[in-house]
Amino acid sequence: MCFCSSCKGTAISGGGHGSAAPDRPGSQPCQVETYSGYRVHERPRRFTCQGEWLEVRRVVSRWQEPEMLCFTVSANDSRRYLLKYRPQRDAWEVLRL
């Protein structure tokens, strides 16, 4: 995570050493750039889907499960996606809804 004046708490994670096969059919590993304010990965800013970066236009919902952080987002391609973060693996996955 970087806190320089340009990044202002931006973190990019996923797709690295912690990546693993997603556990839900149709979901795939991805990279996510998040805003990190008072906590890491407070909200996603953009993410990859099939190798293309998509901008998050709106966070529709956010919830936490015992071993993951989940976001439903609307992206700049007018579609909704489910983003899941698994901190124990530092891995993100995306599912188009």
- Provide mean pLDDT across the span 13-18: 48
Rg over CA atoms, the chain = 12
The SS3 call for residue 91 is: strand
Q: pLDDT by residue (tens digit) across 39-69?
A: 888 999 999 999 999 999 999 999 999 999 9
Q: pTM of the full predicted structure?
A: 0.78
Q: pLDDT by residue (tens digit) across 71-82?
A: 999 999 999 999
